[in-house]
Amino acid sequence: MSRSHHKRLVMPRTWPLTRKTNIWAQKPNPSGHQIEMCMPLGIILRDVLGVAHNMREAKRILHDRKVMVDGKVETDRARGVGLMDVLTVGEENFRCILDTNGKLRYRPIPKKAAGSKICRVKGKTTVKGGKTQVHLHDGRNILLDKPPKYNTGDSLVISLPDQKVTSHIEMKNGAQAYLTGGSHIGETAVITGQDIKRSSKPNETIFEDFGTITDYVFVIGKETDIPLEDKS
């Protein structure tokens, strides 16, 4: 079995690719994103954005240093670009989101929006020296000297490419949320309550007309922070 490729028939259902046109598809390199939540750069350039006709052209674009991920030049065609990442190809900027069909999409965004990204807090750890390490959904870890006011489920706005925290979005009643799983995937809704389980069952977040497990809730500042509609 190939370590760099997998068969298209078993590729993640979040990938917006046809399954029977070819046998193999490139795997993304291990990264902070789960394989279901990211796609390799080469496939994005060739099959999703259509800026390359084949993988040779995609490699040339990457080697010409015309592609950036989160503000940093990227030349590896297997580099995974995942949820909320900012992809820059030449003068165009894109943000990775999940649409209402559960497919990864790379939607155009203005240059100003490409200077930041929203990251979900997945957890916190106290490390040597009494410092606190905050774990984010894209694999980043932020080391803080003082105990942070950030809680699991909150979101942080990170500036790119210097990766500084510019604002904190708390998960609370009235907050706008973007859903990354369940039957309402790809939609936005306002949080109206929290159901904390005192058992092994997952906690639930309540919205006006429905509820879902808290792991699917990605708090955002406002609905316009996510390019939900394809305006291309």
* pTM over 0.85, yes/no: yes
The CATH number covering residue 183 comes to: 2.30.30
Tally of structural domains, the chain: 3
Is the residue at 25 inside a domain? yes
172-190 pLDDT, tens digit per residue, is 999 999 999 999 999 999 9
Same-domain pairing of 105 and 141: no
Same-domain pairing of 101 and 16: yes
What SS3 string covers 57-78? HHHHHHHCCCEEECCEECCCCC
36-45 pLDDT, tens digit per residue, is 999 999 999 9
Same-domain pairing of 11 and 56: yes
Residue whose C-alpha is closest to residue 61's, from 70, 72, 74, 48: 74
Same-domain pairing of 29 and 94: yes
Taking a C-beta distance cutoff of 8 angstroms, is the pair 114, 160 a contact?
A: yes
Q: In the predicted model, is pLDDT for residue 230 greater than 70? A: no
Same-domain pairing of 102 and 13: yes
The CATH number covering residue 161 comes to: 2.40.50.740
